[in-house]
Amino acid sequence: MVGADLIRQLPRWYRSEDLFHLVQILVIPRPGYDLSEDDLMEVRQRGGRVAIADMPQQLNLSSSYYRQTDDTDVLPRAVRTYIDQKKLYLCLGNSRKTLPTP
């Protein structure tokens, strides 16, 4: 699962093609980030299987923000439950460094 802001970067990730063969990429629309058919096509041409989430409401939220703040109030209950069940972000202390702003 990645935000729409990352789809263009995916083909340049380390071992991205290995990842593409292992999982289906679920792209979450985000306010201010249009999904380009060219970007999606590049991922697909490299073996990626891409699905676009049908979100009734777009959230202006990123995993970086959540990891830095641990603000569970910004997440829908279902997402919080999933994170807890799958034990995601257990090392939050290592990822709370402030990200540089572009």
Contact predicate 47/20, CB 8 Å? yes
Q: Which pLDDT score, from 0 to 100, does residue 99 have?
A: 46
Contact predicate 45/37, CB 8 Å? no
> What is the per-residue pLDDT across 51-88, written as a single tens digit (0 to 9) for each?
998 877 766 777 777 778 877 788 778 888 888 888 87
Tokens at 64, concatenated: 């970086």
Between 11 and 83, where is the model more confident?
A: 11
Quote the pTM value.
0.66
